Amino acid sequence: MKKTIALLFIFLTIGTYAQDSIVAPTEKRWDMFKYDFVNMFKGVGYSYARPLHWKGQQWAQLGGVVAGTGAVYLFDEESSEFIQRQKESVPHVIREYGELYGSPENNYLATSGVYLAGLITKNEKLRRTGVLLIASATSSGFLQQVLKSVVGRARPVAEKGKDTFDPFNSNRNYHSFPSGHALLAFTNAYAIGKQFKSPWIKAGVYTLGAIPGISRIWDGQHYLSDFVFAVAISIATVESIDRYLDKKYDQKYNDQTKKTSWNLNFGPGTLGVVIQF
């Protein structure tokens, strides 16, 4: 099952370049790999340094994310119980996909496959996608590990309630916030979604990317606010590293200016994430 998920992810990504001409430049693959590896490393550093350059709009967006996550937090126990009750009605194949795809080992198996395919074929656009996937997963993955430890939020399965926090507790039952499965899976989905112009295809890719995070809620491993904040980190990380890679590679997605924003919507009986692109 793990290999099947990884292969499907690789085929989906490579399929976006099926109509691209694969150019065989004279540059050696080893030189390409060294260049790409440096960009992966620098891309991670760039994403961490961006808050130092934020201005009013970016800080306002961060405030909106914090406020939105806080609003979801207020209803975490109710939403968690509701989602858990839906678990038995979810097809087994979707539940299994949700559990396996968001794990770090499966994530890097899939993203490395995308990059290697681009390196072997000397396809710059596919290489760049692999660099974006690996750098984004590395950056966001490390950040969520730090946050899990610092925040020390109890998981629903610990049965301590949503307001229980024990920072730096090594017990995994206190590593709820944010959701690692949600973060890695949606990071991949958001990066892949950039390859498409159609909002319907983007929505489909984002839905597939959201399933692993939601599956962790119905398994009692995370609250909804853990999922929401993870999605926010995913979007911010991919956008940041993608902008950095624009300066390093000639191939750009869809040749369009990046104007992406997202907001949390709340209302009576309503909760949603709106992504504008």
Q: What is the CATH number of the domain that holds 217?
A: 1.20.144
259 occurs within a structural domain: no
Q: Are 191 and 105 in contact (CB under 8 A)?
A: no
Residue 210 lies in a domain: yes
Sign of the dihedral through C-alpha 16, 98, 81, 236: negative
Lowest mean pLDDT among 88-97, 177-186, 235-244: 88-97
Rg of the chain over CA atoms, in angstroms? 19
pLDDT digits (tens, 9 = 90+) for 86-138: 888 888 888 888 877 777 788 888 899 999 999 999 888 899 999 999 999 99
d(CA 106, CA 128): 20
At 152, list the tokens.
């020390």
What is the rounded CA–CA span in Å between residue 29 and residue 93?
38
- pTM for this entry: 0.82
Q: Do the beta carbons of residue 218 and residue 172 sit within 8 Å? A: no
144 pLDDT higher than 90: yes
52-99 per-position pLDDT tens digit: 988 888 899 899 999 999 999 999 999 999 999 988 888 888 888 887
- DSSP per residue over 144-204, as a string? HHHHHHHH-BPPGGGTS-TT-B-TT--SGGG--SS-HHHHHHHHHHHHHHTT---HHHHHH
Query: Omega of the bond prior to 199 within 30 degrees of 0, cis?
Result: no
Per-residue confidence band for 150, with pLDDT thresholds at 50, 70 and 90: very high
pLDDT for residue 235 is more than 60: yes
Cα atoms in the 13 Å half-sphere on the side-chain side of 29: 12
Name the one residue in this structure whose structure tokens are 């624009």.
246
Residue 227 lies in a domain: yes
> Are the C-beta atoms of 192 and 204 separated by less than 8 Å?
no
* Inter-residue contact 5 to 102 (CB < 8 Å): no
User: Is residue 235 a part of any domain in this protein?
Assistant: yes
264 lies in some domain: no
Q: What is the mean pLDDT of the chain?
A: 83
Count of domains for the chain:
1
At 45, which helix (H) or strand (E)?
helix 29-49
User: How is residue 273 written in tokens?
Assistant: 């994430």
Asked if residue 124 is part of any domain, the answer here is yes
The tokens of 39 are what? 């960009």
Domain that holds residue 136: 2-12+25-48+55-252
User: What pLDDT score does 254 carry?
Assistant: 53
| 229 belongs to a structural domain | yes
- Looking at the domain assignment, is residue 75 inside a domain? yes
